[in-house]
Structure 1
Amino acid sequence: MLNKFVVIDLETTGNTPKKGDKIIQFAAVVIENGKITEQFSSLINPEKPIPVFIEELTGINDEMVKDAPLFTEISEKVQSLLEGAYFVAHNVLFDLSFLQEELLQAGSEGFYGSVLDTVEMARILYPTADSYKLSDLAEKEKLTHDRPHQADSDALVTAELFLILLKRLSLLPTVTLRQLTQLSGGLKSDLQLFLEDMMDTFEASNILDSIEIVNDIAFKKNHTEKETDILNKEDCKYPESEEEKVEIIRHGFKSFIKRVGQFKMMDTVYQSLQLSRHTLIEAGTGVGKSLGYLLPLAYFAKQNKRPIIVSTHTIQLQEQLLNKEIPFLKNILPFKIDAVLLKGRNQYLNLEKFHQTLMDENDNYDTTLTKMQILVWLTETETGDRDELNLSSGGQLYWNKIKEEPSILFEDKGWQERDFYQKAIRNANSADIIITNHSLLLSDIKGAGSILPASDYVVIDEGHHLEKVASRFFGYSLDYLSTRLLISQFGTYEQKQLFYEMEQLTSRLPSSGKKFFTSFELNQLVLDLHYEMDEFFKLMALYAKAKAANKKGINRIKVRFTSTDSCRERKALVHSAERMSFLIKDVLNAIDIRINWLKAQKDSLSIPELNKVEDVSGFAAELDELRNILISCFIKDSKEVKWIEMDIRSPQNVTTFLAQPATVAMQLKEKFFETKKAVILTSATLTVNRSFDYIMREIGLEANSTVQVSIPSPFVYKDQVQLLIPNDLPEINSVSLEEYVIAITEHIITIAEATKGRLLILFTAYDMLKKTYELIKESGFLNEYVLIAQGISSGSRSRLTRNFQRYEKAILLGTSSFWEGVDIPGEDLSCLVIVRLPFSPPDEPLTEAKCQLIVQQGRNAFSDYSLPEAILRFKQGFGRLIRTETDRGVIIVFDRRIVTTQYGKSFLQSIPPVPVKKGKMEELAGFIQNWL
């Protein structure tokens, strides 16, 4: 590494040097011959006040920079450091634009050398990283980063990261490096120049044992075929007694703590499989349910040489099973088992398409970067599964062009050995346990031709989600952005996309073949379709606004779309759907004529041309699906519950039309449960008031043919949890939203001061969450606490949770998805606030329709649906607090209906017995402080 690099980091008064923002701290780290040779940093007097938020972020205040040098006093030093060097920074354009402005103002000539960006390099070289923030990358590489947002600390960490990135780069196969060099001309930094300079000094690493080259692309070598396991009959005998189970588990886990509930679950699962019985198992937190079903599954699969499917709702649980539970299982069993993860077809990379598009000209920035990410990823991945990659939204668009899809024209021999999708199918067909998700499991039912191997035995973990996933699965969804994206893929003739490419291919088609539509006529149809689609979603927004006129102050609305409504907005929307449907039909006719002619000529077409035909066919299939949705939802009178969701602040972009059946019980019963020998549903929340009646009714199981087992948590909740109910809050339905928010905000401030943070607050509606967050901020009482709020703080649920765990004094406000699946063990979470009992709003379209159906059947909608649904969600929320046997914590329920109503008892009877305290918030705060 003979080059000189200077890694720069700056702290500034804002983001825009052109508007007068100034540098308040400069830091540089010099790297020569692969080593750090010099460090320089200085505070700088910006000659203007430092904004409060910058002071909070950096810890640098006006007093600290008062006697610091002006930038002009260090500009000469900065120039000498940068001489003959690459300028390196984390998000280089930010630091460079500031420095350039300051250098020019100081009378220097500025920096015009080469630049490298560690964000860009990290995205390419860590294609599967969760985040590319400096602090997250430092944590990933175990670099000490003690003072984030201070330039000297940030510059040193960036320099250490840069050296690691250089090392990673140097170890890539030569063929990959050459391809990265070719592509890197489209980047923001001068990586291409650097790679061309350094190519000769990198080790030629395509000879590594772990890499193989196929068609000029480097891959991680395939594992050799698995050995066949010679089975001893005794080894496969299921361990009936407790002692035998303990002996097996201790074989791989010496400090195993015996859990009676876990053994009961193992026996229940094994007997259900043996006797072909459907089974419901509620297993409380801490039972160890994953091992509780995996161990008996493994024995049964081996004895009967039959694969068993395990379905989960979340990716997190799939990863936990695959990376933690299955390796543990393999370690303790006296025989070999094979478990694989199988996902839907378009989760996998199509190598032929990727190879074809790899060196396309005129790529945009996101596409170029994604190609580079994938090239590096192919040297690491064994699965080719899109979920491993961290793609930008532009990268996702490119993925849609290169994902695996059914081929109708040709069987591609060139990639058969490496094809990821075929490999996943092969592995699944020979596996004992196949892990998948609820949607893929249900694709068999819909008759869409699932890729899952046939199996009579299924375990459904996170089983309380099955009904909701099935409702979505049997329904339809139509949103503006994806509809627009779909139609835009085809493009007009001038845009030179699929339409243009198709016309180029069919230029030899006799004119009689185009009698339906010439290129000019088809172009006009496409323009009309674009216009009509925009009109359709505008009319949809108008309908929703008209229906929600009385919902003042609420931005995100849901309104029901019914056939009985005769308003003019509905009629206009239906007419637009009809026009759009006819336009799509004409476009499809024109495409079909061309595709059929091209198929007849397929022997004379090249592989890239065949790929283009595939792309047009794929587009036509998606367009046909769109037409079917329009007909089902707007033209035929189908039985689904239909509604519109939108945000009235930007109606068109976030408008979605949904249609779902009010009940899926009969479909699940006939098409799923009656076609399987044994289905085992498990979750921590399946019973209401210790009864399985509600869940069985929802999913179509019969009580007399279903085994029902409830296994309590081993945790001693009465010693670990205190449930508090303040009696100085108004009844939630007796005051306005604003008044309620003011009252709970005061309580939240009191609680936060008593618990010193480590507080999770669960809301049932985003509007209330947002108003509470704003009022807490405005009050200024919790300025020393880190406030993290879903939908306001950026990031996914897992990133928000990680940030919450990172800070000592943190408060996390969450809704919907935070009621379950969030795992924060230990002292990171010591207090949980439930703002209101999680009843679905009665005017929520699906709830309203379900309740109407129940009333028509002569039953009680509240006790048969609204109450049990709310109790299951309440149990999920309750389960967030205690995750291990040593956790302790406080749960505070603001909604007084839990003690003032008759039905409130049902909530308390559905959770483990815990002490309940009522009182004024001030008194309860003192209790919390002492108890924690």
Structure 2
Amino acid sequence: MSFTPSTPAALSALALQTFEQVVRSSPGFKIRSGQHAMAERVAETLAAADLGDQAAPAKAIAVIQAGTGVGKSAAYLSTAVAMALERKTRVLVSTATVALQEQLIHKDLPVLAASMDKPFVFALAKGRGRYVCKVKLDRLAGTGSGEEDLFEEDFPAVALSTASQEAIEERRIQLYDHMATLLAGNKWDGDRDTLAQAPEPSDWSAVAAERHTCTARHCPRYKDCSYYNARTRLAEAQVIVANHDLVLATLGLKTLPDLDNCLVVFDEGHHLPAVALDQFSSAMDLSNLRWLDKLPRTMQDVAKRLHLHLGEDITTVCSQLKTVLTQTQRLALDLVHGTTEGADGTLRFAHGVLPEPLHEPIAQISAQATGLQKALEALGVDVKAIAKEDPSMAALCAQLYAKLGALAPRLASLSGTAQLLLEHGEQPLAKWLQAESENGYLNLSAHACPMVPGDLLRQFLWSQVRGAVVTSASLTSCGSFDYFLQEAGLSGNPNVSTLEVSSPFDYTEQGTLTVVHTRAEPKQADAYTAEMVELLIRDLDEVQHGALALFTSRAQMRAATQALPTRLMDTVLVQGSLSRTRLLASHMARVEAGLPSVLFGLQSFGEGLDLPGKLCETVFICKLPFAPPSEPVDEARAEWLRKMGRDPFSELVIPATAIKLLQWTGRAIRTEEDRAQVICYDKRLQLQPYGRRMLGGLPPYRQLRRQGREAAQPV
């Protein structure tokens, strides 16, 4: 008779025992006290949470920063999976990047499954839009376009020649026929990512599965639907790997396990706040209005073919909506051009206050779009009902429902954005207009977005989660969790515990951090860039193997690239000159051949890039990665803080920069055998109080100071 632990302490002990067994059986096992401490905290946290129906459920969330080399995925996977199997529940692991998802699915979880006594199934969760809709494909295969282009997601932003249109049409015919043939021969599972060649986004969108266009169980292709087959496999898995976007986008939709009845791990958790803002932002297109001509025709056609009655004059309402949108378009363009001297750009509304001329038209858009949205939804309900009542009509209903659903997101964006633009409370929203011209075509849009991610996460995510671990290598800023907890909506939460697990690397022995003191002040952009580039080129001559130079702007990187002498032209590989994959492959090939190679990159190269050993022996930081509020949401939040007598530079800019700096310096030492140096050309890191705060949050590199070209001296 097996013993089933019932107390949190017993559950925790069992999970930790499994972790210890798994790591001991791993090839090249090394005792890592930090990894054990992390596993222990994961076990204690997840054991303390009540799952399922409870009157007053206990909640527990651990926020764990695990430095490079700790082995955090092994610490949380073995512990959480063992706990889930014992509690007969599931584990949801959410990441921010595809790279980590692939590592978990193809490496970490297979290894764990092979070393655990209890078997378990794991699966990767993807959004519905990654799968083909066979109903749409059936309609398009052989023609390249649907009747009246009913599934066309967007009109081209530029006028195309007849030859170009014919080329696109031919490409689509070949693509859709090819996909249909693969499906018919059971040589493709309908997952976009498993196609040998990735299709153009516009081609794929015409056949992508979407919630708005799907009749689900009433669809004649339901039993062999690629998306629902994947959902079935997901339902059979005890461990599900997803991403932050999908988790937040599907809250309440039953796509993933209920968060109050499973164990959750957010790896790369420092991305959660930014993902939350992106998920809860809203925008309306003010430049492309032709779809409004198609909306009444589509609704009337569906109603006529199924003998249904439309309750209101859809044609008149659509005409009124198009008129007010055209009026708003002119007003918006005048407002943008009035502040940008006739040029394209962004106009943010100060303090979230909508200009008076826009109040009435935006209110009309809200009322009319909401009315049409309800009429469209009601018609869709009727279509589904017919499919349910008469299976012989299911195929036709699926096609007609897809017609309606293709237009639903447009109405939803108008209704939702207009309502947010009209909203004004104690904490204002960020609101702005964006005008962009491309090849003679104008894109004009209106945007609204909450500006404090913590409030969103607290309301929509943490209110549901019972037991969770949030982990990353960069959750602290200037040595404190305070900034992340605030941004993530966890500050002041009594159910939250924090743990910082240091890297097992000996940074003092393995690396140095040299701060170069320039004559020019970093705020003197032109003079500083010129001097920094001169010093950087001098240091590039010393590179023997691999190095990485990180820039804060494209203009700064361009200045350094243009200043390269002929002798360094072949040594430097610049981000954007090739795809990321080819760029890294070229870098590795040069280093392996014994040649020096330097990568020039921006922020995306400062995080998640793993170049151990000779591939990266030096990281050049060309300037502290400050991100002054320039995006509308950042500007609005800074404005709001200043209005409340608070300092956005201290509260937002410094902590965010410190986290980026921690990520950037983390590119240098990736293994216990690495020897590397970090060279930063921004003297503020040692001279300014905030710079010294940032230094306090970095690994304990041996610090040096260099005056211009002089030899470096210990600090």
**What is residue 355 of structure 1 aligned with on the other side?**
138
Q: Secondary structure at the match of 1:884?
A: coil
Structure-to-structure mapping, 1:657-672, within 5 angstroms: 657-672=446-461
Q: Which amino acid in structure 2 is aligned with residue 401 of structure 1?
A: V
- 1:754 deviates by 1.4
Distance 1:324 1:669 in 2: 33
Aligned pair partner of 1:742 in 527, 530, 536: 530
1:249 matched to 2:23? The reply is yes
1:333 matched to 2:116? The reply is yes
1:259 matched to 2:32? The reply is yes
Higher RCO by CA contacts (8 Å cutoff, separation 6 or greater): 2
- 1:532 deviates by 7.4
Structure-to-structure mapping, 1:157-306, within 5 angstroms: 247-251=21-25, 253-276=26-49, 277-306=60-89
Q: Which amino acid in structure 1 is aligned with residue 70 of structure 2?
A: V
**What is residue 675 of structure 1 aligned with on the other side?**
464
CA deviations 1:424-463 (Å, max 9, x no partner) are 3333333222211112222465x55654345242111111
Distance 1:799 1:739 in 2: 34
**What is residue 145 of structure 1 aligned with on the other side?**
none
Residue 732 to residue 415, structure 1, CA distance change in 2 (3 Å): same
Q: Which amino acid in structure 2 is aligned with residue 263 of structure 1?
A: H
1:763 and 1:834 in contact (8 A); partners too: yes
Distance 2:544 2:344 in 1: 33
Q: Which amino acid in structure 2 is aligned with residue 686 of structure 1?
A: L
1:435 matched to 2:225? The reply is no
1:556 and 1:646 in contact (8 A); partners too: yes
Aligned pair partner of 1:466 in 259, 263, 272: 272
Q: Which amino acid in structure 2 is aligned with residue 561 of structure 1?
A: F
1:690 matched to 2:469? The reply is no
**What is residue 131 of structure 1 aligned with on the other side?**
none
- 1:872 deviates by 0.9
| Residues matched between the structures, number | 666
**What is residue 612 of structure 2 aligned with on the other side?**
825
- 1:810 deviates by 3.8
**What is residue 190 of structure 1 aligned with on the other side?**
none
**What is residue 642 of structure 1 aligned with on the other side?**
431
Residue 605 to residue 247, structure 1, CA distance change in 2 (3 Å): closer
Distance 2:484 2:609 in 1: 23
Distance 1:549 1:835 in 2: 34
**What is residue 783 of structure 1 aligned with on the other side?**
569
Aligned pair partner of 2:396 in 609, 613, 621: 609
1:246 and 1:258 in contact (8 A); partners too: no
Distance 2:531 2:268 in 1: 36
**What is residue 198 of structure 1 aligned with on the other side?**
none
Distance 1:370 1:826 in 2: 43
- 1:627 deviates by 1.8
Q: Which amino acid in structure 2 is aligned with residue 708 of structure 1?
A: T
Q: Which amino acid in structure 2 is aligned with residue 764 of structure 1?
A: T
1:725 and 1:917 in contact (8 A); partners too: yes
Aligned pair partner of 1:370 in 175, 182, 187: 175
Distance 2:549 2:331 in 1: 38
1:424 matched to 2:230? The reply is yes
- 1:618 deviates by 0.6
1:726 and 1:924 in contact (8 A); partners too: no
Aligned pair partner of 1:769 in 548, 554, 557: 557
1:647 and 1:654 in contact (8 A); partners too: yes
1:558 and 1:844 in contact (8 A); partners too: no
Structure-to-structure mapping, 1:360-399, within 5 angstroms: 360=143, 364-372=169-177, 374-375=179-180, 378=183, 384-389=190-195, 394=200, 396-399=202-205
Q: Which amino acid in structure 2 is aligned with residue 249 of structure 1?
A: V
Distance 2:19 2:372 in 1: 64
CA deviations 1:177-229 (Å, max 9, x no partner) are xxxxxxxxxxxxxxxxxxxxxxxxxxxxxxxxxxxxxxxxxxxxxxxxxxxxx
Distance 1:871 1:548 in 2: 33
Q: Which amino acid in structure 2 is aligned with residue 690 of structure 1?
A: G
- 1:888 deviates by 2.4
Residue 654 to residue 503, structure 1, CA distance change in 2 (3 Å): closer
- 1:400 deviates by 3.7
Distance 1:738 1:817 in 2: 24
Distance 1:397 1:371 in 2: 9
CA deviations 1:719-745 (Å, max 9, x no partner) are 222212222341111x2x333332222
- 1:766 deviates by 3.0
Aligned pair partner of 2:543 in 746, 755, 758: 755
Q: Secondary structure at the match of 2:42?
A: helix
Unaligned 5+ segments in structure 2 are 50-59, 146-167
Distance 1:848 1:916 in 2: 35
- 1:464 deviates by 0.9
**What is residue 624 of structure 1 aligned with on the other side?**
411
Q: Which amino acid in structure 1 is aligned with residue 704 of structure 2?
A: K
Residue 260 to residue 440, structure 1, CA distance change in 2 (3 Å): same
Structure-to-structure mapping, 1:541-560, within 5 angstroms: 543-548=335-340, 559-560=347-348
Distance 1:243 1:598 in 2: 55
- 1:710 deviates by 0.8
1:428 and 1:434 in contact (8 A); partners too: yes
Q: Secondary structure at the match of 2:570?
A: coil
Residue 688 to residue 704, structure 1, CA distance change in 2 (3 Å): same
Give the TM-score normalised by structure 2.
Answer: 0.81
Residue 231 to residue 748, structure 1, CA distance change in 2 (3 Å): farther
Distance 1:589 1:275 in 2: 44
Unaligned 5+ segments in structure 1 are 1-229, 928-932
Structure-to-structure mapping, 1:504-653, within 5 angstroms: 516=313, 525=319, 529=322, 540=332, 543-548=335-340, 559-562=347-350, 577=362, 603=390, 609-637=396-424, 639-644=428-433
2:18 and 2:78 in contact (8 A); partners too: no
Aligned pair partner of 1:878 in 659, 665, 669: 665
2:575 and 2:600 in contact (8 A); partners too: yes
- 1:474 deviates by 2.2
Distance 1:652 1:247 in 2: 62
1:729 and 1:744 in contact (8 A); partners too: no
Bigger Rg over Cα: 1
Residue 250 to residue 563, structure 1, CA distance change in 2 (3 Å): closer
1:713 matched to 2:503? The reply is yes
Cα RMSD of the aligned pairs, angstroms, is 4.1
1:729 and 1:894 in contact (8 A); partners too: no
Aligned pair partner of 1:894 in 681, 702, 707: 681
- 1:302 deviates by 1.0
1:867 matched to 2:654? The reply is yes
1:384 and 1:420 in contact (8 A); partners too: yes
1:352 and 1:415 in contact (8 A); partners too: yes
CA deviations 1:698-732 (Å, max 9, x no partner) are 22222643221111001111222221222234111
2:296 and 2:314 in contact (8 A); partners too: no
1:837 and 1:895 in contact (8 A); partners too: yes
State the identity as a percent. Answer: 25
2:182 and 2:188 in contact (8 A); partners too: no
Distance 1:387 1:534 in 2: 39
- 1:564 deviates by 6.8
CA deviations 1:780-801 (Å, max 9, x no partner) are 45333343234xx253x44544
Distance 1:762 1:575 in 2: 48
- 1:257 deviates by 2.4
Q: Which moved more, 1:888-897 or 1:605-614?
A: 605-614
Q: Which amino acid in structure 2 is aligned with residue 366 of structure 1?
A: R
2:144 and 2:176 in contact (8 A); partners too: no
